[in-house]
Amino acid sequence: MKAPAFWWTAPTTASTLLSPLGFLYGLVAARNLRKGKRAALPVPVLCVGNLTVGGAGKTPTAIALAEAAKTLGRKPGFISRGYKRRGRKPLLVDPETHKAAAVGDEPLLLAEIAPTAVCSNRKKAADLLIEKAGCDLVILDDGFQSAQLASDYALLVVDARRGLGNWEVFPAGPLRAPLKAQFNHLSAILLVGSGDAGAAVVSEAARSNHAVHRAHLVAKDGDRLRGMRVLAFAGIGDPQKFVESLKRCGADVERSRAFPDHHRYTSANIAALSAEAWKSGLQLVTTAKDAARLRTGDEAAQLFLQECEVLEVALRFEGETTARSIVKRTLAEFHRHRYGV
């Protein structure tokens, strides 16, 4: 599904009508956070999650933290649900052989950085990482609200441009659970990007005595797109963020097409995008996550990807030592939880 526009505006008739459902959903979500049977692991767990539905930069954040962990001599591994994957058994991802349909699109990107296991049962995925891949640090990409694993440090990512939208709980708004219930279990907030909407989140974090870190998504090799007339397309949580990234690279985004998050492109989608770009003389540009789905799709999808430029992004913390400090704090909390020191 696409996130409805009213989630990101002041309360509307739609959000008001849906608020009773949001109240009930919030009760269940809050109870799950409070009483979830979190399994303890023999290695530290760093959770990277969202307060809201939709993309805010979790996967680039998880990658940046894994890279920081490596510099500290750790062997990190990622756990992902593998959204929309076929199959339910826990699986170690092989980016050379697995397709997005089998493991999900984000796990393919994660597996290029460190061992990655997918399963809706996070404990089973963690066991694979520890026993088969020899990981000594687990980074949970999403899964905060599932409360399946005991986290030593929970970093929740917020898009500074969109903030928490209308601050209502799904389906009346984008919150995955009531804000207070989520704040009771998080360690810190990571504000990604720029925008006034993030200020209210910072104030809320200050009132509850939670740290706020800041970071930005930076395009890799974006200069090659400067001055290029493009048709941008993306099936991610916030396609507009992708468009803004292209503009910052100097690309002339004449047209853009947004698809639902994790969208699997059909032959009709591909034909329409290709024809539109050809007719208007525009260069097709997409995201690394979309490219992962196309690259492991059928022959038509793979051929279509050859027509496209792919804009990759990386997360950069504002503080040079922030990522390492978060990993160190995770390790310290693990020892405190396990040994009381």
* Residues contacting residue 97 through CB under 8 Å, at least 6 positions apart: none
DSSP string covering 36-67, please?
--PBP-SS-EEEEEESBSS-SSHHHHHHHHHH
56 is in an annotated binding site: yes
97 is in an annotated binding site: no
Whether residue 75 contacts residue 136, with contact meaning beta carbons closer than 8 Å, is answered with yes
59 is in an annotated binding site: yes
53 is in an annotated binding site: yes
Determine the Cα–Cα distance for residues 106 and 20; give it in Å rounded to an integer. Answer: 33
Q: Which amino acid is at 18?
A: L
57 is in an annotated binding site: yes
Whether residue 62 contacts residue 167, with contact meaning beta carbons closer than 8 Å, is answered with no
Q: Which residues pair with 230 in a beta bridge?
A: 253, 283
DSSP string covering 174-229, please?
SBSS-HHHHHTT-SEEEEES--THHHHHHHHHHHTT-EEEEEEEEEESGGGGTT-E
73 is in an annotated binding site: no
- Nearest CA to 186 out of 148, 227, 151, 222 is that of 151
296 is in an annotated binding site: no
Whether residue 129 contacts residue 208, with contact meaning beta carbons closer than 8 Å, is answered with no
61 is in an annotated binding site: no
Determine the Cα–Cα distance for residues 72 and 52; give it in Å rounded to an integer. Answer: 31
Binding residues: 52-59
Binding residues for ATP: 52-59
